[in-house]
């Protein structure tokens, strides 16, 4: 979003407008429990009214909004490819095979560590933390309840694994959103996140091992056996179904552009699917457009596999375009510039700038309870300061995920927090101390920002981080 402001809002005006927007979105989402789209539309109309009051022409305001939305068009096309890739991964057997492999580990020793690993694997497979929580998470909660194991620890392990998958999966909308909003290649973003994500994963895994029950004779339970049998009966479990994942990893290492990698993987997955099933062109087109519809008769399996398709991305795409249009108006009216000027002293160093971005993403999560907006607004606000310091933007996209994506399930009134509590039956504040991965990621990103570890620059010349 490269556009110059056409006016300079005063500090009081900027503060009042931002406070009004945050209050509007917060009340709509937390109190009235609406989707974020409507309060964003109301906020856009508010900014149009403010601009007209300041004698700004409607045409210029419209240009600001459309310029902001246009900056997200690359994300729109990427999201559409992601939707089709999920469908292709299901018919090729890639996602079902990964799920089955994860469930095979569920009756190993160190129960809570296995819950964490399995939900992480499934989360990476489907790219959705909430889907993983609402399906496999419910199964693990049922197992823990029947075995009299701690439900808060179980929920913490489920949330940790699910959001590891949400954070690191190339299929995840938040991962794609964070990389696109700051203009970073998807696979560069994922590789750079490994610096904080892998240590957080390892530390969480060890901690869940210590928290696990002493007995090593764990009962897999009828629920888990039902899920494994249901997946096997789909006829989609094959060793060769993992080849698309291998190909995607090779292309990531070779730095093939994300859209090209996704397109080639979709084609390969479709071709692979014909080894074990025949799908007519008409049905294939419907699956790629509307998603795969599972009909195994097992609700949990059907919920996991009924997904994907280009249409499944429309909710996210509409939110991205509206939020970027809002951001375009905020820049056009000089509101973002005014707010950044208030932090001018903290934006002169790499460490404090990145920490300010993390604090903004965290604050929006707490104030609004929405992870998409925390990524979008913080990303748009801090791109220019990051550029001015000579930092690579992948530092910013990593911070947005470490302090944005994984924070939302820890907010009791956040979208993810409310959803997880409702499906698992464990209050947010009870599982919060055990959502170790979600707690460790922001801590590690703060440490890395302060020390300069893994912080990269566009030039070889390094600036002081302190």
Predicted confidence (pLDDT) per residue in 239-298, tens digit: 899 898 788 777 766 777 778 888 998 999 999 999 998 889 999 999 999 999 988 888
The CA distance from 397 to 430, in Å, is: 30
- The two structure tokens encoding residue 175: 């991962």
Tell me the DSSP string of 54-79.
TT--HHHHHHHHHHHHHTTHHHHHHH
Break the chain down into helix, strand, coil percent, rounded to 5.
Answer: 75, 0, 25
Cα 164-168-173 angle, rounded to 5 deg: 100
- What pLDDT is stored for residue 135 in this prediction? 63
User: Under DSSP, is residue 376 helix (H, G, I), strand (E, B) or coil?
Assistant: helix
Q: Which residues of 135-149 are buried (b: 16+ CB within 10 A; e: fewer)?
A: bbbbbbbebbeeeeb
**Torsion 333-339-344-346 (CA) sign:** negative
The CA distance from 288 to 88, in Å, is: 7
- What pLDDT is stored for residue 75 in this prediction? 66
Query: Nearest-CA neighbor of 321 among 2, 6, 36?
Result: 36
Q: Are 258 and 266 in contact (CB under 8 A)?
A: no
Confidence grade of residue 142 (pLDDT, cut at 50, 70, 90) = low
414: phi then psi, degrees, rounded to nearest 5: -70, 160
- pLDDT > 90: what percent of the chain? 32
Residues 6+ apart with CB under 8 A from 210: none
Average confidence (pLDDT) over 229-234:
87
Q: Are 409 and 119 in contact (CB under 8 A)?
A: no
> What value does the mean pLDDT of the chain take?
84
Judged against a pLDDT cut of 80, whether residue 93 lies above it is answered with: yes
Average confidence (pLDDT) over 415-423:
79
pLDDT digits (tens, 9 = 90+) for 41-70: 999 999 999 999 988 999 999 988 898 788
Residue with the larger pLDDT of the pair 151 and 307: 151
Segment 336-344 long-range contacts (CB within 8 Å, at least 24 positions apart): 336/380, 336/381, 337/5, 337/8, 338/8, 338/9, 338/10, 338/11, 338/13, 338/14, 339/14, 339/15, 339/18, 339/381, 340/381, 340/384, 340/385, 342/11
- What pLDDT is stored for residue 77 in this prediction? 82
The CA distance from 242 to 99, in Å, is: 11
Average confidence (pLDDT) over 100-120:
81
Helical packing angle, 371-388 and 314-332, nearest 10°? 50
pLDDT digits (tens, 9 = 90+) for 314-363: 877 887 788 778 878 888 888 877 877 777 667 788 899 999 999 988 98
Adjacent-strand bridge partners of 457: 391
Domain locations in the chain? 74-313
Q: Which of 105-114, 146-155, 286-295 has the lowest mean pLDDT?
A: 105-114
Query: Nearest-CA neighbor of 114 among 16, 209, 246?
Result: 209
The CA distance from 290 to 24, in Å, is: 33
């Amino acid at each position: 979003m490269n556009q110059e402001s056409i006016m300079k809002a005063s500090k009081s005006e900027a503060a009042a407008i931002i406070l009004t927007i945050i209050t509007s979105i917060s009340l709509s989402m937390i109190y009235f429990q609406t989707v974020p789209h409507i309060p964003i539309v109301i906020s856009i109309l508010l900014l149009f009214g403010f601009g007209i009051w300041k004698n700004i022409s409607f045409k210029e305001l419209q240009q600001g909004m459309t310029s902001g939305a246009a900056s997200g068009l690359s994300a729109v096309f990427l999201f559409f490819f992601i939707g089709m890739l999920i469908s292709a991964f299901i018919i090729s057997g890639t996602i079902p095979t990964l799920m089955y492999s994860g469930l095979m580990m569920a009756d190993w020793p160190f129960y809570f560590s296995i819950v964490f690993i399995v939900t992480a694997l499934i989360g990476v497979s489907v790219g959705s933390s909430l889907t993983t929580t609402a399906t496999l998470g419910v199964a693990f909660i049922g197992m823990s309840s029947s075995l009299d194991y701690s439900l808060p620890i179980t929920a913490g392990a489920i949330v940790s694994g699910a959001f590891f998958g949400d954070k690191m999966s190339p299929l995840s909308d938040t991962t794609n959103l964070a990389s696109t909003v700051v203009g970073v290649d998807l696979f560069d973003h994922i590789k750079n996140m490994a610096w904080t994500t892998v240590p957080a994963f390892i530390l969480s895994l060890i901690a869940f091992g210590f928290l696990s029950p002493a007995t090593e004779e764990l009962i897999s339970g009828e629920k888990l056996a039902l899920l494994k049998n249901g997946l096997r009966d789909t006829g989609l479990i094959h060793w060769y179904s993992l080849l698309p994942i291998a190909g995607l990893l090779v292309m990531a290492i070779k730095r093939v552009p994300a859209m090209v990698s996704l397109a080639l993987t979709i084609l390969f997955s479709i071709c692979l699917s014909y080894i074990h099933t025949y799908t007519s062109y008409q049905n294939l087109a419907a699956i790629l457009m509307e998603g795969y519809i599972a009909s195994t008769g097992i609700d949990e399996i059907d919920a996991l596999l009924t997904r994907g398709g280009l249409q499944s991305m429309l909710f996210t795409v509409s939110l991205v375009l509206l939020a970027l249009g809002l951001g375009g108006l905020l820049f056009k009216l000089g509101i973002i510039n005014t707010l950044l000027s208030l932090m001018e002293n903290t934006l002169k160093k790499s460490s404090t700038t990145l920490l300010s971005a993390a604090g903004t993403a965290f604050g929006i999560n707490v104030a609004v309870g929405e992870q998409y907006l925390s990524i979008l607004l913080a990303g748009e606000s801090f791109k220019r300061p990051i550029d001015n310091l000579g930092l690579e933007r992948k530092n910013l996209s990593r911070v947005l995920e470490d302090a944005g994506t994984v924070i939302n399930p820890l907010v009791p009134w956040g979208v993810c927090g409310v959803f997880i509590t409702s499906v698992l039956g464990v209050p947010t504040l009870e599982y919060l101390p055990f959502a170790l991965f979600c707690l460790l990621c922001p801590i590690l990103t703060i440490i890395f920002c302060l020390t300069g570890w893994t912080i990269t620059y566009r030039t070889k010349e390094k600036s002081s981080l302190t």
